[in-house]
């Protein structure tokens, strides 16, 4: 039990929330009519509906919904009033013992979850029951006046949930439903869900041939098809241009590293669970040949046994991890060369590939994966430079958001909790204070929307996470910007300052475009697959009408001209009718179609059709191509 809803929050429940909360009582009533032994836990309204958690030997399946809904309709038709009753704690417990809470009558088994809930209600708070018809439930309300006020409802799914969200508690069945005041609103809601399904990046990702996830390659390990890879190339080009202009230098680092690196960085053992298990390597020094041979040791037992031999001097043993983050590698690059204050700020950028062993149940399309390429960079700077650097990063974010037309976003500024210094957060009270003040100033001065979240900083410093919402309302944490004053010290990173002393730099971790995986997943939903020209996997498709040789030559010439300018153009010379070719290109959401017939050839023109805009008519060839090139160059929306 974390926080209970306050009475004020309850009082401010909207009408639709009351209605849904009432619907959950009716749901419980219906379940009891069918399975009188059901034990109920919590049944609140939620964002898009309501649920009730129930403990029941029968496994409720969607096949049962019709039966349950029929019982619910009877209760609604009966139009029972919701009556509120205030009772003493003892009275409530007494009823609970008789199984009368969340029940239609007294029962043999006590209402165990309700009794537990009563015992957790603060002593100074009143206890109330609600009755509608035979059903009585422990409930603080509020409700609608009568069951008949519940307009249109539908059960939507059943899932499991731990009691109080704690995996040590028993699992309950959570029956979900939604309810609205009118049938029309309910229908609109389901229509909206249907629309959202069409934009789902997993569906579009497959249809538009952007990526696949293959069982044999592994869960959470997306493979990028040429169309997806083209988009990635564009994003990288954008990042490289932007970062070059902002004074970043590019570096490259391997995908694996020895265990010691992550021990130094402090990521092990805290992050071990979210890293792939290490590769064990055993080096055998052969005294005969004097050469070393490798043999992988897979089982822990083998490694252990070999380590004993190691002490005899003939074997040595090591572990390599797939990298889960790039920072330790970049810190090593900082350390590789003696640094002067004149070198700072030093900005090292890399689209680094990282691997994280996310729990199987957490994997989700491109949003939650196990291999990812991060738009990563680390900025090493002096405390004096920090504010300007952090601000520049922030401005880079805003520039990207503008380019992609991302309007709904929120910056979450996570700070430390001073009482947890030395435990959850590194024990540097002054540095925390300083960097948080500086970060807050940057946010305030830039005028962006942000919320401050105490106690959620990284262990090494305050951070900003950017949440954005795709067009279907799915929330994405797409970017991150973190301050780090701990790792540079752990790695003994120093620069020689003006006064000839060694000082430790601050480090800013930043990834404005997040990872390719999540960012492209976001863009697919954001644009519904209708990407701007510069980002489109297939920018232009040339469709010929007829196949006379002169016409084919003309189409080929245009195709070559586009390709010579690095435009992703394809040529459709198939024998389909023009309607068929247009349909095919439209379905793949090809940005621009050049429809070429005899008329165009004779006028040295191109008939242009743009996805979503239809036929724009014929224009001179040179003009059309110049416009395409300019649109790509300017990254027009």
Interface with RNA in residues 192-211 (CB under 7 A): 202, 206
Q: Which is nearer to RNA, 207 or 502 (CB)?
A: 207
Alpha-carbon dihedral sign for residues 550, 555, 561, 563 = negative
Question: Measuring CA to CA, which residue among 337, 370, 346, 349 is closest to residue 253?
Answer: 349
Task: Give the Å distances, CA to CA, from 556 to 546, 594, 615.
Answer: 14, 12, 21
**Smaller CB distance to RNA: residue 315 or 588?**
588
Q: What backbone torsions phi and psi does residue 222 show, to the nearest 5 degrees? A: -70, 145
Between 378 and 526, CB nearer to RNA: 526
C-alpha 616 chain-centroid distance: 38
For residue 538, count other CB atoms closer than 10 A to its CB. 22
If one counts every other C-beta atom within 10 angstroms of the C-beta of residue 622, the result is 12
Closer of 396 and 520 to RNA (Cβ): 520
Q: Which of 55, 71, 259, 576 binds RNA (CB under 7 A)?
A: 576
Footprint on residues 511-570 left by RNA (CB under 7 A): 545-548
Residue 254-293 contact track with RNA, rule CB under 7 A, x = bound? ----------------------------------------
Q: Cα separation of 432 and 460, whole Å?
A: 9
376 or 538: CB nearest RNA? 538
Q: Which of 458, 593, 625, 632 binds RNA (CB under 7 A)?
A: 593
Q: Provide the minimum distance between the beta carbon of 139 and RNA in the complex, in angstroms, as a whole number.
A: 4
Pick the piece of the chain touching RNA (CB under 7 A) from 463-471, 501-509, 556-564, 581-589: 581-589
Closer to RNA by CB, 118 or 327: give it: 118
Nearest CB to RNA, comparing residues 216 and 308: 216
Pairwise CA distance, residues 458 & 442, whole Å: 19
Shortest Cβ 461–RNA spacing (Å): 26
Q: Which helix (H) or strand (E) holds 620?
A: strand 614-620
Cβ closest to RNA, residue 314 vs residue 574 = 574
For the bound state, the minimum distance from the C-beta of residue 52 to RNA, rounded and expressed in Å, comes to: 8
C-beta of 61: minimal distance to RNA in Å?
5
Binding mask 323-362 for RNA (x = CB under 7 A): ------------------------------------xxxx
Strand partners, 110: none
Task: Pick between residue 99 and residue 220 the one whose CB is nearest to RNA.
Answer: 220
Shortest gap between Cβ of 608 and RNA (angstroms)?
A: 7
**In sequence order, which residues have a C-beta less than 8 Å from that of residue 466 and are 6 or more positions away?**
397, 409, 410, 411, 412, 477, 478, 479, 480, 481
Least Cβ distance, residue 337 to RNA (angstroms): 42
DSSP codes joined into one string, 69-84? HHHHHHHHHHTPBPEE
CA distance linking residue 610 with residue 589, whole number of Å: 9
- Which member of 26, 127, 268, 442 binds RNA (CB under 7 A)? 127
- Which position among 117, 150, 268, 569 is part of the footprint of RNA (CB under 7 A)? 117
* Residue 516 and residue 394 in contact, taking contact as beta carbons nearer than 8 Å: no
Rounded distance between C-alpha atoms, residue 368 and residue 521, angstroms: 10
CB neighbours of 137 closer than 8 A, spacing ≥ 6? 25, 28, 40, 43, 101, 102, 114, 129, 130, 131
- Min dist CB 316 to RNA, Å, is 33
Using CB under 7 A, which of 34, 56, 78, 121 touches RNA? Answer: 121
Window 434-463: contact mask with RNA (x via CB under 7 A): ------------------------------
Residue whose CB is less far from RNA, 392 or 618: 618
Question: Do the Cβ atoms of 344 and 381 come closer than 8 Å?
Answer: yes
**Nearest distance in Å: CB 223, RNA:** 12
Site for RNA (CB under 7 A): which residue of 399, 577, 633, 636? 577
Residues sharing a CB contact under 8 Å with residue 539, sequence separation 6 or more, in sequence order: 533, 567, 568, 569, 590, 591, 592, 628, 632
What is the number of H-type helices and E-type strands within the chain? 19, 30
**Site mask, RNA, residues 205-244, x = CB under 7 A?**
-x------x-x--xxx------------------------
- Any contact of residue 417 with RNA (CB under 7 A)? no
The smaller minimum CB distance to RNA, of residues 348 and 366, is found at 366
Site for RNA in 597-636 (CB under 7 A): 597-600, 607, 609, 611-612, 614-615, 617-618
**Nearer to RNA by C-beta: 418 or 580?**
580
Our CB check for RNA shows the closer of 410 and 578 to be 578
Q: What is the DSSP string of 237-280?
A: HHHHHHHHHTT-EE----SEEEHHHHHHHT-TTTTGGGSPPPEE
What's the rounded Cα separation, in Å, for the pair 231 and 591? 13
Per DSSP, the residues of 392-457 read HHHHHHHHHHHHHT---EEEEEEE--GGGBTTTB-S-HHHHHHHHHHHHHHHHHHT--EEEEET-S
> For RNA, which residue of 37, 55, 417, 586 counts as binding (CB under 7 A)?
586
Distance in Å, CB of 422 to RNA, minimum: 28
Q: How far is the CB of 572 from RNA (least distance, A)?
A: 10
Residues 133-162 within binding reach of RNA (CB under 7 A): 137-141, 157-162
Token pair listed for 312: 């005899």
By CB atoms closer than 10 A (0-12, 13-18, 19+), residue 524 is buried
Q: d(Cα 146, Cα 149) in Å, to the nearest integer?
A: 5
**Smallest separation, CB 590 to RNA (Å):** 10
Q: Nearest distance from residue 299's CB to RNA, in Å?
A: 18
In the complex, minimum distance from the CB of residue 112 to RNA, in angstroms, rounded to a whole number: 11
Should residue 364 be labelled a site residue for RNA when binding is judged by CB under 7 A? yes
Q: How far is the CB of 313 from RNA (least distance, A)?
A: 40
Q: Is 118 in the site for RNA (CB under 7 A)?
A: yes
If the CB atoms of residues 247 and 580 are measured against RNA, the closer one turns out to be 580
Contacts of residue 436, Cβ cutoff 8 Å, sequence gap at least 6: 415, 416, 462
Considering beta carbons, is residue 213 or 466 the nearer one to RNA?
Answer: 213
For the segment 26-85, give every residue that binds RNA (CB under 7 A).
41-44, 46-47, 53, 59, 61
In sequence order, which residues have a C-beta less than 8 Å from that of residue 170 and are 6 or more positions away?
A: 55, 162, 163
Distance CA(583)–CA(591), nearest Å, equals 13
Strands 223-224 and 211-212: antiparallel
Q: Least distance (Å) from RNA to the CB of residue 42?
A: 2
| Distance of closest approach, residue 455 Cβ to RNA, in angstroms | 15
Q: Residue 41 or 396: which CB sits closer to RNA?
A: 41
Question: 462-491: which residues touch RNA (CB under 7 A)?
Answer: none
């Amino acid at each position: 039990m974390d926080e209970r809803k306050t009475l004020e929050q309850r009082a401010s429940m909207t009408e639709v929330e009351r209605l849904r909360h009432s619907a959950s009582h009716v749901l419980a009533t219906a379940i009891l009519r069918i399975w009188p032994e059901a034990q109920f836990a919590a049944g609140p309204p939620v964002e898009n509906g309501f649920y009730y958690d129930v403990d029941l030997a029968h496994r409720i399946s969607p096949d049962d919904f019709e039966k349950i809904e029929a019982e619910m309709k009877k209760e609604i038709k009966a139009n029972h009033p919701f009556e509120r009753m205030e009772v003493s704690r003892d009275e409530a417990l007494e009823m609970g013992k008789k199984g009368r809470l969340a029940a239609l009558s007294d029962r043999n088994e006590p209402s165990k979850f309700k009794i537990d809930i009563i015992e957790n209600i603060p002593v100074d708070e009143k206890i109330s029951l609600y009755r509608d018809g035979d059903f009585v439930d422990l409930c603080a309300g509020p409700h609608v006046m009568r069951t008949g006020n519940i307009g249109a409802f539908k059960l939507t799914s059943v899932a499991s949930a731990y009691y109080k969200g704690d995996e040590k508690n028993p699992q309950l069945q959570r029956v979900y439903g939604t309810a609205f005041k009118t049938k029309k609103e309910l229908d609109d809601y389901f229509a909206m869900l249907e629309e959202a399904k069409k934009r789902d990046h997993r569906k579009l990702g497959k249809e538009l041939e952007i990526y696949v996830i293959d069982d044999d390659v592994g869960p959470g390990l997306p493979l990028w098809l040429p169309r997806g890879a083209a988009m990635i190339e564009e994003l990288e080009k954008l990042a490289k241009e932007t970062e070059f202009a902002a004074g970043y230098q590019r570096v490259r680092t391997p995908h694996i590293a020895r265990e010691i690196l992550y021990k130094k960085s402090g990521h092990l053992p805290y992050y071990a669970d979210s890293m792939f298990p290490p590769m064990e390597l055993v080096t055998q020094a052969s005294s005969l040949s004097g050469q070393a041979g490798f043999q992988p040791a897979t089982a822990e037992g083998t490694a252990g046994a070999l380590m004993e031999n190691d002490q005899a001097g003939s074997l040595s043993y090591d572990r390599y991890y797939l990298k889960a983050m790039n920072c330790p590698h970049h810190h090593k690059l900082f350390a590789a060369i003696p640094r002067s204050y004149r070198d700072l700020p030093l900005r090292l950028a890399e689209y680094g590939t990282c691997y994280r062993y996310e729990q199987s149940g957490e994997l989700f399309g491109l949003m939650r994966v196990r291999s990812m390429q991060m738009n990563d960079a680390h900025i090493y700077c002096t405390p004096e430079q920090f504010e300007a650097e952090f601000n520049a990063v922030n401005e880079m974010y805003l520039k990207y958001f503008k380019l992609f037309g991302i309007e709904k976003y929120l910056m979450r500024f996570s700070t430390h909790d001073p009482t947890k210094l030395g435990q959850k957060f590194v024990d540097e009270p002054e540095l925390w204070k300083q960097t948080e003040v500086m970060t807050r100033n940057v946010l305030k001065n830039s005028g962006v929307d942000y919320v401050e979240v105490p106690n959620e900083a990284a262990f090494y410093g305050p951070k900003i996470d950017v949440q954005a919402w795709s067009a279907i309302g799915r929330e994405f944490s797409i970017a991150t910007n973190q301050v780090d004053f701990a790792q540079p010290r752990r790695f003994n990173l120093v620069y020689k300052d003006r006064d000839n002393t060694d000082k430790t730099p601050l480090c800013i971790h930043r990834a404005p475009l997040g990872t390719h995986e999540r960012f492209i997943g976001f863009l697919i939903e954001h644009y519904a697959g209708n990407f701007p020209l510069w980002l489109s996997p297939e920018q232009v498709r040339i469709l010929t009408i007829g196949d006379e040789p002169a016409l084919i030559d003309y189409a080929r010439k245009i195709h070559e001209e586009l390709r010579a300018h690095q435009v992703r153009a394809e040529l459709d010379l198939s024998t389909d009718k023009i309607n068929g070719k247009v349909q095919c290109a439209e379905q793949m959401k090809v940005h621009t179609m050049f429809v070429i017939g005899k008329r165009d050839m004779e006028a040295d023109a191109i008939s242009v059709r743009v996805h979503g805009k239809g036929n724009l008519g014929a224009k001179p060839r040179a003009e059309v191509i110049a416009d395409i090139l300019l649109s790509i160059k300017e990254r027009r929306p």
